[in-house]
Amino acid sequence: MVQVIRNFFIALRQIAIGDTKYYAWILFLSFLVALGGSAYIGQLNKGLIITAMRDQVSWGFYISNFTFLVGVAAAAVLLVIPAYLYNFKPIKEIVLFGELLAISAITMCILFIMVDMGQPLRVWHILPIIGAMNFPASLLAWDVVVLNGYLAINTVIAFYVLYRLSIGKEYKMSVIGPLIILSIPWAVSIHTVTAFLYNGLSARPFWNASILAPRFLASAFCSGPAIMLILFQIIRKLSEVEIENKAIFKIAELIAYAMGINLFLLGAEVFKEFYSGSIHSEPIKYLYFGLHGHNNLVPWTWFATVLNLSAFFLFLFPKTRENFITLNMACIFVIIGVYIEKGMGLIIPGFIPDTLGEIYEYTPTMQEIVIAVGIWAVGALVYTFMLKLAIPVYTGRLRFFSRAQMVTARDIMSRRIASVLPDTSIDELARLLVSRHLPDAAVVDQNNKLIGTVSETAIISREVCRSTGKKASDIMSPPDAAITEDMKIQELGGILADRRVDRLFVLNKDNQPIGSVSGSDILKAIEEINRE
């Protein structure tokens, strides 16, 4: 318990104390969070009317951001597979930062869903048992399960690894191995379920295409890792964490493949929609060319298309993906490109034209944007705090208090000792030691303070060489070799070794003997700690 509280404060201090740059960054993010929070309070009071959403376009910017971020969260798997399954060492060293990114992304996803709800206080209605979760019929119920499960899995993995590192130990694959294996299909599932959420609606032909889930995954494996590449470079620059170029280039290569698949799938969809040209192609016409003079999304769509295509080629050629200038350009292109394509570019055309053929053009209001920025700032804040703690643990500069450091002489000592007054006769002393099976006795004064020790061997040699009639004080050795009760286990071993003795008395503050520690007591304790 003490240990937990102590470690909590160590973690808190690590997060709370930083340099000016760190405080400036936290202050900046907190400002954005506060701004978003106050806009959200306005939304709570007035209702979602402050957004540009209406009955025709009933989901907008919030759900667009949610969809994009599910992809970012799912992309952690792109690091997990090479790291744990193929044991690719350069990536294994950084997979933790990917998992932390997944945690922040899911946090943002949940917040985006919360701010989109008309009755956020009723959120518990969606839970099983206490609520009335419509499982398995509703894909939104599935999404609640898989998103929270993914959050839990990644939190357990990341914090278990950090905890082991923080007490100076390797993590055990026997503990997290199964979770890591589980996290791979789970990452695929969060994105598949989110795609199915839209995909399953026959009312919305734009979403009702079976290519949607594969497209979701492919684009997620572009944007998520691209964000990680940028973050890794920042982490590498600002801290002592070493991230090999090899790892970065490998991820860039994987993005190239994902982007290739993404563009292919997109092309397949565009072909089908435009070539068949049924009335169900109206949404994609709206997206690319506008419909009846309504073309809010058109410039964005083409902007995203150009970005994604250029990023694809930049990632494809080793020359450009292994040059940090072109690599970072490609990353930024792909992040913005997918953000548009998978965000507004996916959600809004689902509603335009609406099911009765009306075209309502949607552009988010300032309040919507401010609330969204606030949520992004929360995500950045969560990631920053986690990194602030994880990086020093990771580099070995921060170590938590562990049991081994906490164990004192008092915890491991044997309380069975014999104390005698100085005028005790040797006969009596010998009888005492024999009857209690003790190798030695402490000689104490009237106040029970240690003044010397008498060992078996000392008595034996006196017994044999001289006649009886002597007292304990005559044969005792001075108490130079004594230890205090609050000495740490590490020190004890050293003292025993230095003094070349195998048993020492433990004294309390008043110099009174309260127990003894032997070499085998220490060994036993160490063994016990290691077994945990």
**122 contacts other proteins (rule: CB under 8 A):** yes
Residue 306 binding other proteins, by CB under 8 A: no
- Alpha-carbon distance of 476 to 380, in angstroms, equals 68
State CA 214 to chain mean position distance: 27
Task: For other proteins, give the closer residue by CB, 137 or 325.
Answer: 137
The nearer residue to other proteins, 289 or 317, going by C-beta atoms, is 289
Choice between 273 and 440, CB closer to other proteins: 273
Please, are residues 465 and 448 in contact by the beta-carbon 8 Å criterion? Answer: no
Give the binding range for other proteins (CB under 8 A) out of 113-121, 301-309, 498-506, 507-515: 113-121
Q: What is the DSSP string of 413-451?
A: -B----EE-TT-BHHHHHHHHHHHT-SEEEEE-TT--EE
CB of residue 55 to other proteins, shortest distance in Å? 6
Backbone angles phi, psi at 277, to 5 degrees: 60, 35
Q: What DSSP assignment string belongs to 499-529? A: HT-SEEEEE-TTS-EEEEEEHHHHHHHHHHH
Binding-site string for other proteins from residue 181 to residue 220, where x marks contact by CB under 8 A and - marks none: ----------------xx-xxxxx----------------
Contact 517, 503 (CB under 8 A): yes
Interface with other proteins includes 116 (CB under 8 A)? yes
CB of 372 to other proteins, least distance (A): 17
**Does 357 help bind other proteins (rule: CB under 8 A)?**
yes
Instruction: Assign 303 to helix, strand or coil.
Output: helix
22 contacts other proteins (rule: CB under 8 A): no
Q: Determine which residue in the list 403, 410, 449, 470 makes contact with other proteins, applying CB under 8 A.
A: 403
Rule CB under 8 A: choose which of 97, 232, 351, 383 binds other proteins. 351
Q: How far apart are the first and last CA of the chain?
A: 16
| Least distance (Å) between residue 443 CB and other proteins | 36
Interface with other proteins: number of residues (CB under 8 A)? 58
> CB of 342 within 8 A of CB of 215?
no
Which 3-state string (H, E, C) describes 46-98? HCHHHCCCCCCCCCCHHHHHHHHHHHHHHCCHHHHHHHHHCCCHHHHCCHHHH
Residue 524: CB minimum distance to other proteins, A: 15
Q: Does 117 bind other proteins (CB under 8 A)?
A: yes
> Of these, 13, 17, 34, 120, which contacts other proteins (CB under 8 A)?
120
Please identify which residue in 46, 89, 431, 466 interacts with other proteins, judged by CB under 8 A.
Answer: 46
- Say whether residue 47 binds other proteins (CB under 8 A): yes
Q: Which residue type occupies 174?
A: S
Single residue of 15, 18, 35, 54 touching other proteins by CB under 8 A: 54
- Contact set for other proteins, span 271-300 (CB under 8 A): 279, 282
**Conformation bin of residue 17: beta by default, left when phi > 0, alpha when psi is -120 to 50:** beta
Q: How far apart are CA 455 and CA 262, in angstroms?
A: 81
Query: Which residue, 162 or 430, has its beta carbon nearer to other proteins?
Result: 162
Between residues 119 and 435, which has the closer beta carbon with respect to other proteins? 119
Residue closer to other proteins by CB (options 126, 151) is: 126
Q: Minimum distance from CB of 218 to other proteins (Å)?
A: 23
103 and 382 Cβ atoms separated by less than 8 Å: yes
Residue 162 sits in the site that holds other proteins (CB under 8 A): no
Lookup result for tokens 């734009």 = 206
- 171: Cβ–Cβ under 8 A, 6 or more apart, which residues? 160, 161, 164, 165
As a whole number of angstroms, the distance between CA 275 and CA 441 comes to: 99
Chain centroid, CA 337 distance in Å: 28
Return the residue of 38, 56, 310, 511 that touches other proteins, per CB under 8 A. Answer: 56
Which of 27, 121, 325, 465 lies at the binding interface for other proteins (CB under 8 A)? Answer: 121
| Smallest separation (angstroms) from other proteins to the CB of 50 | 9
Binding site residues, other proteins, CB under 8 A: 1, 3-4, 41, 44-49, 51, 53-56, 58-59, 113, 116-123, 125-126, 131-134, 137-141, 144, 197-198, 200-204, 279, 282, 350-351, 353-359, 403, 532
